Amino acid sequence: MFNFVITFALVLISLSMLALIYRVIKGPSIPDRVIALDALGVNLIAVIALISIVLDTYAFLEVILLLGILAFIGTVSMAKFLEKGEIIEDDRNRNQ
Amino acid sequence: MTEIEISKIIVGLLVLLGAFLSAVSAFGIIRLPDVYTRNHAASKSATLGVISVMLAAFIYFYAEHGHFNSRVILGILFVFFTAPVSGHLISRAAYNSGVKLWDKSVRDDLKNKKK
């Protein structure tokens, strides 16, 4: 019963990731795609937690924290690029 | 009923809740009309679903192996703090780069503000 519950949750999360991939491909604007990619990264964290429960090992749990940090940095840099046109601003170019 | 069975029931319920919330957020991302409502669906419900799945993994390894994994706790705290921030940033970037609201939305407080 427990294994069935874990497998069912994995299938459900995989279907929702397919829906997010549909939004990444079709999304009319760039922020749509960025939002869908951020949600994909967040769902990937859940997939890794469930797979480490299935495999009964805690060797992969560092990947959870790593993926959280990487998804946040990617989304912030993408938002800054969309808003200002550059990610790391150069102070000498600002006042010209 | 031993402690391990009770903890497995709790883990199963948390995992089902997380998968349900993840499916709800994907449904919202498919169905909702514009960027801001989709961002609303994605940032809140996907975050809560992933937090409950991570909590389930933590409880599973603590009850089954007696292994206290502090990185999962740090991951829960990090996702809880940063997912709303990234949702806010991407929504503000969408507004400032000129993405239109839905046709039937009735209120836009920033419309007359100049950049």
Q: What is the pLDDT along chain B (115 residues), one digit of tens a residue?
A: 787 888 889 999 999 999 999 999 999 999 988 888 999 988 899 999 999 999 999 999 998 888 888 999 999 999 999 999 999 999 999 888 877 777 777 777 777 775 5
B94:A29 CB<8 A: yes
pTM: 0.87
Picking from A18, A34, A64 by the largest number of B CB atoms within 10 A of its own CB, the best residue to mutate is A64
Question: ipTM strictly over 0.90?
Answer: no
Q: Which of B64, B59, B51, B44 is nearest to B10 (CA)?
A: B59
Q: What is the dihedral of CA A42, B79, A69, A17, to 10 degrees?
A: 0
Could you tell me if A43 and A76 are in contact, meaning their C-beta atoms sit under 8 angstroms apart?
no
Could you tell me if B97 and A83 are in contact, meaning their C-beta atoms sit under 8 angstroms apart?
yes
Residues across chain A: 96
Phi–psi pair at B109, nearest 5 degrees: -70, -20
- Quote the pLDDT of residue B7: 87
A39-89 pLDDT tens trace: 999 999 999 999 999 998 888 888 999 999 999 999 999 999 988 888 887
Could you tell me if B91 and A76 are in contact, meaning their C-beta atoms sit under 8 angstroms apart?
no
Select from B67, B86, B93 the Cβ nearest to the Cβ of A82: B93
B79:A5 CB<8 A: no
Q: In 3-state terms, chain B is what percent helix, strand and coil (to 5)?
A: 75, 0, 25
Select from A15, A31, A69 the Cβ nearest to the Cβ of B90: A31
Chain B residues in contact with A69 (beta carbon < 8 A): 78
Query: Has residue A92 got a pLDDT over 80?
Result: no
- Quote the pLDDT of residue B115: 54
